[in-house]
Structure 1
Amino acid sequence: MTVYNINLGIGWASSGVEYAQAYRASVLRKLGIKAKFIFMDYFNSENLADLTTNIGFKNEEVLWLYTAFSDLALSQPSISVAQFKEQLGQEILHEQILPRQVVLQLANNLELRLHLSRLAPHCVSWVEYLVAGKLQKKAYYTSQLSHEEVYGDKQVSYRQFYNQDGSVALTEMLTAGKASLYRTKDQVFYSKEELIAAFMKKLGLTAQDIVILDRETGIGQVIFENVRPAKLGVVVHAEHFSESSTNADYILWNNYYDYQFTNAKWVDFFVVATSVQQEILTEQLRRYNHHAAKVYTIPVGSLAQLKEASEPRRMWSLVTASRLANEKHLDWLIEAVVKAKQVVTDLSLDIYGEGNNRAKLAKEIEQADANAYIRLKGHQDLSYVYTKYEAYISASTSEGFGLTLLEALGSGLPLIGLNVRYGNQTFIDDGQNGYLLNLASYTDKKAVVAALSQAIIKLFTQADLAAFSKHSYEKAAAYLDSEIETKWEQLVSAEVGAGND
């Protein structure tokens, strides 16, 4: 029995989907349930094993569509720059060392640009071959040559993926930079969909296997057509519909999930991260699709333990942690704290995280003359940071789950946030462990800032912080590792124990 998890791409700055998958991998690993994580996109500038290792996958857990037809195992680059130069067998006329790159000049106007691995910076990840400044090919390495891209007229003409013995396992032909056909030793596929169908057949799926679709764009139909006899599950990672475009007779699904919901009768189960979303999605599929869907609620994160403060928390202190991005509305928090400080005179706010808005936020703090009590703390390991503070605050208008909310909860912090789906509604019990703010509009900056400011004042002047903290700890207990592991164990047991329709 294997749980196959299907995604498209992955990067160094991965999204919540990849982090959710990596977390799932760790849970299934603990449970001793065999799992594979499949990536369908082509990667032209990084080693996939570097990307997946960086986020927490094991090499043996990862499958890549393009190398699945070869016998070459996924692995990190391991050929050193010195070894590569030795294997060249040519005189190097000039060598230039740059950050994560080594440029070699050879005879006949040949230039080699060696791009180095991020995780093993002394090893070669991929190499560009240029003649008289014109790109001829790119070669990608693990412990040996893995695959190559050959260029013609400034576009990729074909790609070749190799076996351990150097023979060609798969060739991808491209026309005008777009894939036109794929060829193995004994088969030809005239589209990527046909290649994926062949890949699915290679998996040898049985009724004891589960296939979980994390991303569908461009591959949904071929997965649905080739998944049986395995069970098919779909994980919903975000808000799944547009509320403003939905009425009693019509729903506008999130385009990333439209295919899955439209064809929900062929899906054995859905997985969402919160009970609020589970209730909403179940009812919507019943109303708009006339389908009684099976929807599991399994959080995308958990807590190893509840963390008690080892020393007194800093009084009147707030903390928040997120990407420094527009949608997090940290500028609203800054204004709210500045306003609340007129009443709570020793109030402070520490903001953890990095992002494109750092300079903008720093300027706003400076203009408010708030540097002494509002600080940008950057990216840090927050494992034992939350217990230093008295409360957590968020101005985000959309939080699919909110791992930082959960981490704060597990450190006993009262929480302040807007009454928006789904994280805040999951972790904040209004008046019991914080304040869930109801507003007519969550895009009205003035109203939101006023509400946040009032909630801060109320928390520090009226609330029983000890009681609020106790309630947060009680809620957090439901998210301990063992609790979430049990949920996945129960899902797998229920699905592989049931027959397919």
Structure 2
Amino acid sequence: MNFFVNEGLAAQGSGIEHAQVQRGKLFRKNGQSFKIVTRVFNSNGHRDLLAWGLNDAEVINMYDYYAHTEHVPEQILTAQDVEWGGRPVAIVEPLPDTPDTFMAYEDENRTRFLGRIHVDLQHESRVTMVEVFEHFGNLFRVDTYDSRGFISRQQYIDPDGTPNTNVFVDRKGRPIIEEYLRRKAPRGSEAMVMNRKHIDSQNQLAENAQMSGQEFEAKPFEAPQFVNYVSGYRLIKSNGMTYIFDSFDELTAEFVNDLNNDFFSEDAPNIFIMDRTTAADEGLLKLDRPAYIGFHLHNLHASDTRDVMTTDENNNYEFDFMHINDYQAVISAMPRQTADVVARYAPKATPFTIPVGVVPAEIRDAERVTMAERQTNSVLMIVRRAPDKCPAAVAEALMIANQKQPGLNAHLDVYGYFDNTGNNKTNKDLLRLFDKYGLEKPTMYDEKGAETTDLNQVRRLESPVVTLHDYVTDRDELYAIHRSHQVYGLASMMEGFNISMMEAMANGMPGVSTNVNYGPNDLIIDGENGYLTKWAPEGQEDQFVTEMADRFLELFNDPEKLQAFSDAAYDHSNRYYEEAVWQAWQGLLADADKRWPAMVAQAHALSNVGVGLGGTTMTAYTLGNRRDEVTVNGISGDKYLAD
């Protein structure tokens, strides 16, 4: 089986999630089974994977794996369907003015309270959570419901209202994973850290209030009497074996080890591609039985894009480079990064260059859209709205261009999910530009679409020069946005590829970007399908924004050049067509097959028995139980196992 390892797969994903899904669909199209491996609990996980165009067989979550809920028929559970453990139910009614919360009572007089039921009004009013109260009116348990209609987690509450245990259960209510929550008095050093964070928070709130024209009064720091922490985990497998773990990483290590054993075959290797290395890197190096393991660099491997050969590693990859010779493959998205990694580390692991993005057939075969058919002088960014992506720098470049050429009216549209890093630094940097260039303040909206001046609540922003939009999940809608804009802008501090720019160029948009390693300066052939400007570190964007403004002006004032750049953007995207990327993956699959005979020959025998509940002998390992599983039946397929 081909496993692509990640933390989770939420509906609003970053570039890594997009890369995994595009790769998965490429594998599916070429008859190769795969599973995206996740370890984070998500009660809406199966709804989210459908939004990505995946089926249940193509994602395997740790909690589903142990609860045997990978393939469960969906049912709609409403507030009236909730069971209360045998207690009678007389009334279930919504709260006045709060239609997503119901109150349940045992009697018609509403004197014996059962609990509160929370529903998702956007999805057929399905139950999402139930707060259960005991006879004395105290909350003692909170049940989380899977979107498919069953309880998946129960949180138990102490009499003082403090959670003490999270119990993850199977469909029969039997515990499969327990997470123990404990309290302790904070140590002096911990209190000092809390105090520093409090001071930083108060300073940020004061800054927000000043920018919003509001008064602010700082609150003094009060050290908490207790702090909560996770003290450990217990895993109860279906064969009765029980395991105790000190950390989430140890629990994850057991999970990936069980996966490898479960799908193990002497005939072909399990292949683990770590896309988020921190999700399971240490555990994958401690497997009972061999597997072919590679880690994929989705970002710069060094801490400084100006010096990729001597600066410290990107902290996400530090462990992996320390153990690079324990892996079988190290994968970069661009040839330049592959060469740099080989030169710096001389790995025994086989180096591969495999793009993280794939231009799907629907983009490749779509009719080309000319520049004249698009919004005039329009620039697009599709990014995580965070300081390291620098949307404010691209916005400032357009403000300069508009200032240099009155009547240009160039406009920037930014799509992506909100990231409040640095106390909402992205939005604050943008707002400061309106004062700097004497522009009318933008209209700001919160997550519910209501106008707001509170910087902590801002999720969207509208103005004649820049608009911040919500995240777009529908791919057809996203591609239509690409085909309605003329130029793609980027000013990232650090990159590894940039799928959004690849897709924009495949839809005919030339790029204007800072010359940042890696991705943009490979995607853009300077002077042919876009322009590369000088790069500068965060806080020094003034070193390149004027140059970027001039590049925008050059393209917008020369329709023939703009069209020629668009044609080149279309043409050079063939580097990332499905056929080209699949050929690169075939090299890695062939390397795994070549290495496998020697690897499997060194596999030691495992005991398949152990002591279970009550001292009885139980099966401890499921060796190769799922080795024949296939996942390529498509979204609507309900048959996942080979005959």
TM-score range for the pair, normalised by the shorter chain length: 0.7 to 0.9
The answer to whether the Cα contact below 8 Å between 2:77 and 2:149 also exists between their aligned partners in 1 is no
* Higher deviation after alignment, 430-439 or 73-82: 73-82
**Which of 390, 396, 420 is the matching residue for 2:492?**
396
Match of 2:333 among 261, 273, 277: 273
SS of residue paired to 1:51: helix
Shift of 1:111: 4.1
Q: Which residue of structure 1 aligns with residue 223 of structure 2?
A: none
Q: Tell me the equivalent position of 1:19.
A: 18
- Where 1:392 maps in the other structure, the secondary structure is strand
How far, CA to CA, are the matches of 1:319 and 1:391 in structure 2?
A: 5
Determine whether 1:212 maps to 2:273. yes
Q: Which among 110, 115, 118 is matched to residue 115 of structure 1?
A: 118
Q: Specify the alignment match of 1:51 in structure 2.
A: 48
State the match for 2:27 in structure 1. 28
Q: Which amino acid aligns with 2:178?
A: E
2:565 to 468, 472, 477: 468
Instruction: Please tell me whether residue 152 in structure 1 is matched to residue 158 in structure 2.
Output: yes
Q: Which amino acid aligns with 2:413?
A: I
For 2:388 and 2:492, the matched residues in 1 are separated by 6
Match of 2:439 in 1: 368
1:136 partnered with 2:161: no
SS at match of 2:543: helix
Give SS of 2:133's match. Answer: strand
Tell me the distance in 1 between the aligned counterparts of 2:261 and 2:500: 40
The 3-state SS of whatever aligns with 2:66 is coil
Question: Alpha-carbon deviation of 1:13?
Answer: 3.5
1:231–1:495 contact (8 Å) kept in structure 2: yes
Provide the C-alpha distance between the structure 2 equivalents of 1:227 and 1:12, rounded to a whole number of angstroms.
34
Q: Which of 293, 296, 302 in structure 2 is aligned with 1:235?
A: 296
Corresponding residue number in structure 2 for 1:186 = 240
Post-superposition shift, 1:424?
Answer: 1.4
The percentage of aligned residue pairs carrying the same residue is 20
Matched to 1:478, the amino acid is R
Give the structure-1-normalised TM-score: 0.85
The 1:484–1:59 alpha-carbon spacing in structure 2 relative to 1, beyond 3 Å, is: same
Between the aligned partners of 1:352 and 1:245, the Cα distance in structure 2 is 27
Tell me whether 1:408 sits opposite 2:504 in the alignment: yes
- Residues 202-351 of structure 1 correspond to what in structure 2 (within 5 A)? 202-206=261-265, 207-217=268-278, 219-226=280-287, 228-243=289-304, 251-286=311-346, 291=348, 293-304=350-361, 305-306=363-364, 307-309=367-369, 312-313=372-373, 317-323=377-383, 324-347=385-408, 348-351=410-413
> What one-letter code is carried by the residue in structure 1 that aligns with 2:577?
L
Structure 2 CA distance for aligned equivalents of residues 308 and 174 of structure 1: 57
Counterpart for residue 478 of structure 1? 575
Q: Report the AA paired with residue 350 of structure 1.
A: L
Distance in 1 separating the partners of 2:501 and 2:354: 18
For 2:94 and 2:553, the matched residues in 1 are separated by 63
**1:399·1:423 contact (CA, 8 Å) conserved in 2?**
yes
Instruction: Note the aligned Cα RMSD (angstroms).
Output: 3.4
1:487 — aligned with what? 584
Note if contact 2:482-2:507 (Cα within 8 Å) is conserved in structure 1: yes
Match of 2:545 among 449, 452, 457: 449
Tell me how far apart the structure 2 counterparts of residues 273 and 76 of structure 1 sit (CA, whole Å): 38
Deviations 1:16-50 (A, max 9, x none): 2222222222222212211112222334xx33222
Moved more, 427-436 or 360-369: 360-369
Instruction: Work out the CA distance in 2 between the residues paired with 1:314 and 1:146.
Output: 48
Q: Report which stretch shifted further, 293-302 or 370-379.
A: 370-379
Q: Which residue of 1 aligns with 2:70?
A: 73
Contact 2:19 2:499 in 1 (8 A): no
Give distance in 2, aligned partners of 1:314 and 1:10.
33
Distance in 1 between residues matched to 2:92 and 2:404, nearest whole Å: 71
CA shift in 2, pair 1:488/1:127, >3 Å: farther
2:3 is matched with 4
Write the distance in 1 (CA, Å) between the matches of 2:118 and 2:72.
Answer: 16
Equivalent pair of 1:49/1:75 in contact (CA under 8 Å): no
Residue 257 of structure 1: how far off its partner (Å): 1.4
The 1:285–1:138 alpha-carbon spacing in structure 2 relative to 1, beyond 3 Å, is same
Residue 170 (structure 2) aligned to one of 131, 146, 162: 162
Deviation (angstroms), 1:226? 0.8
The structural deviation recorded for 1:334 is: 2.8
Q: Give, in angstroms, the shift of residue 436 of structure 1.
A: 0.8
Once the two structures are TM-superposed, the CA of residue 66 in structure 1 deviates from its matched residue by 2.5
Deviation (angstroms), 1:218: 6.4
- Larger CA deviation: 27-36 vs 5-14: 5-14
Distance 1:120 1:485, change over 3 A: farther
CA distance in 1: counterparts of 2:55 and 2:175, whole angstroms: 24
Instruction: Give, in whole Å, the separation in 1 of the partners of 2:349 and 2:89.
Output: 67
Q: Which amino acid aligns with 2:465?
A: I
Distance between the aligned counterparts of 2:80 and 2:375, measured in 1?
A: 58
Is the 2:415–2:469 Cα contact (8 Å) retained in structure 1?
yes
> Displacement, 1:189?
0.9
The amino acid that maps onto 1:39 is T
Alignment deviations for residues 394-446 of structure 1 (CA, whole Å, 9 cap, x no partner):
23333332223112212323221110122211211112222111356564232
C-alpha separation in 2, matches of 1:167 and 1:60 = 23
Say which SS state the counterpart of residue 432 (structure 1) adopts: coil
Alpha-carbon separation, structure 2, partners of 1:217 and 1:148: 27
- Change over 3 Å in CA distance of 1:152–1:452 after alignment to 2: same
- The CA distance in 2 between the partners of 1:9 and 1:180, in whole Å, is 19
- Residue 97 to residue 259, structure 1, CA distance change in 2 (3 Å): farther
CA distance in 1, matches of 2:585, 2:56: 22
Contact 1:395 1:418 in 2 (8 A): yes
Name the CA shift for 1:416/1:262 in 2 (closer, same or farther; >3 Å).
same
Of residues 355-364 and 112-121 in structure 1, the stretch that sits farther from structure 2 once superposed is 355-364
- Are 2:79 and 2:92, in contact at CA under 8 Å, matched by a contact in 1? no
Report the CA distance shift for 1:97/1:363 in structure 2 as closer, same or farther (over 3 A). Answer: farther
The answer on whether the counterparts of 1:272 and 1:297 sit within 8 Å (CA) in structure 2 is yes
Task: State the Cα distance separating 1:242 from its structure 2 match.
Answer: 1.1
